[in-house]
Structures are given as structure tokens and as C-alpha cells.
Amino acid sequence: MADERKAFLLRADPLLWKEIERWAADELRSVNGQIEFILREAVRRRRGSGGEDPGGPAPPGGPPAPPAG
């Protein structure tokens, strides 16, 4: 089965990129996995705590996020 994910170009400020790289390393994720995690969390927060996860199970590329709290 082919990967169903959408690929796109992202232009980012170099300082922001370095911060994301550090954050990703701290959480044992790839930069791509970290950006996807950040986006999933933003969508989840926008939708509110109710409802189902917008992206389903955690994608490959890094461990799942630690429990909130």
C-alpha cells in the first residue's frame, strides 16, 4: 500500500528550525515527526478536548507523545 501522506515544502526561519531540531531530539523524534506532532496537537486543541483524534494513531517516525498532566 502506498504512503497516503501529503508531502509539501516548508520554508522556516533558521532559528525556528534549530529550535524544532532540538525539541525533536529531546523527544526522540525526527524533525518531520516533531512538526507533524505539533500540527496534530494544534488541531486537537482547536477542536477541543472532545471528539476523536484528527489523525488517528500516532504516525511512524517517533514515539507517541507522553501523557498530558
- Per-residue pLDDT at 38: 97
Residue 39 within a domain: yes
pLDDT of residue 3: 75
Contact 21, 31 (CB under 8 A): yes
In a domain, 65, yes or no: no
Range of the domain at 29: 14-44
| Structural domain count of the chain | 1
* 34 found inside a domain: yes
CA distance linking residue 55 with residue 35, whole number of Å: 14
Domain contains 28:
yes
Instruction: With a cut of 70, say whether residue 20 has pLDDT above it.
Output: yes
The three-point CA angle 39-44-47 to 5° equals 125
For residue 22, tell me if it sits in a domain.
Answer: yes
Please determine, for residue 21, whether its predicted confidence score (pLDDT) is greater than 80.
yes
Residue 64 domain-assigned (yes or no): no
Q: What is the pTM of this model?
A: 0.63
**Measured distance CA(13)–CA(15) in Å, rounded:** 6
pLDDT digits (tens, 9 = 90+) for 28-66: 999 999 999 999 999 999 998 665 555 555 555 555 555
Residue 66 lies in a domain: no
